[in-house]
Amino acid sequence: MSTIRANSPAAYWLAAPAALWMLAAVVVPTLLLVWVSFWGGRAFSTASPLTFDNYLRFFSNQAYLGLVAATFGQALLLMAITGTLGYCIAYFMTMKVSNARWRTALFLAFIIPFWTSTLIRAIAWVPFLGVNGVINQALIGLGLTTKPVEAFLYSMTGVTMAQVSLYTMLAAGPVVYMLTSIQPALREAAMTLKATPFTVWRRITFPLTLPGVVIGQVLVFLNVMSDFATVATIGGNKHALLGNLVLNFYEGSQIRFAAVVAVLLMVCMLAGVALALRVVDIRKLGT
């Protein structure tokens, strides 16, 4: 047990390195980004006047507002799909697989793909989704279609399929942790009182795993909102979200508008996290 008091000078000195790192790596770049988003005038210079014109021009463009709505819609869709799949996977591995070795093997089978980068995993979907890809060949072989389906690659359908595979385990991981922390005696007592399995899940299991569900949904939301690599790889040049807009502005040397979109993305992410924290107390995740 630590003998250092929370408000002692030693506690502050121990926290100082992490605080300085956060200040240099997070706070200062964020403030610089916000500052650049307000630059006005024609020149890209620190002497440029501060103005709201960049934000006004962004919100007056219906195409940009459409990208904001599309990004939120994609995030909500992925949260619904990965939340359902992730919970089912977590419940199966913790409640239905009784052998500890099999449970560990299954969990590793889902985790190992995360050892590679997101970009590589997104690129790996291209041979599956193409007109001559594995999915189309399987559909033709099963007689479900007579010609290749072109809706998989370079479409939001393909983007969604790839993102589901990338982010489902982010939704499942915290739920696995919460499920393993539930005492079996709680479920056994409820079933002794003639509660049905669905009632046990609805009244006991799900409420106790809700903090894990929320944490997983926050992780999925943040990743989908900031994802540009999967959209660019699978969606091609036909589709884009806010993350791709930041990249396009940056490559076009429109640094101020890139900063505007980046700031809006951060605000949207913070708003989503704040809303999640109001739904459930995620501090229960560690109890």
129 with 181, same domain: the answer is yes
Domain for residue 57, yes or no?
Answer: no
β-bridge partners, 50: 39
Give the Cβ contact number of residue 48 at 10 Å.
16
163 with 255, same domain: the answer is yes
129 with 213, same domain: the answer is yes
The answer to whether residues 215 and 233 touch, using CB atoms and an 8 Å cutoff, is no
Q: What are the pLDDT digits (tens) for 99-137?
A: 778 877 877 777 777 777 777 888 888 888 877 778 888
74 with 21, same domain: the answer is no
Per the structure, the count of domains in the chain is 2
Report pTM.
Answer: 0.84
pLDDT in the model for residue 1 = 47
21 with 77, same domain: the answer is no
β-bridge partners, 39: 50
- We report the CATH number of the domain holding residue 152 as 1.10.3720.10
36 with 136, same domain: the answer is no
* Residue given tokens 């005492």 in the structure block: 183
Domain for residue 2, yes or no?
Answer: no
Domain for residue 5, yes or no?
Answer: no
280 with 139, same domain: the answer is yes
150 with 183, same domain: the answer is yes
Residue 192 pLDDT greater than 60, yes or no:
yes
Supply 90's token pair.
Answer: 């977590």
159 with 23, same domain: the answer is no
The average confidence (pLDDT) of the chain is 83
141 with 34, same domain: the answer is no
Domain for residue 4, yes or no?
Answer: no
Q: What are the pLDDT digits (tens) for 78-109?
A: 999 999 999 999 888 888 877 778 877 877 77
Residue 189: which residues within 8 A CB-CB, separation 6 or more? none
SS3 154: coil
31 with 115, same domain: the answer is no
Quote the domain boundaries for residue 33.
10-40+47-51
Q: What are the pLDDT digits (tens) for 140-150?
A: 888 777 787 77
183 with 219, same domain: the answer is yes
The answer to whether residues 67 and 242 touch, using CB atoms and an 8 Å cutoff, is yes
pLDDT in the model for residue 69 = 92
Distance CA 225, CA 236 (A): 18
Domain for residue 250, yes or no?
Answer: yes
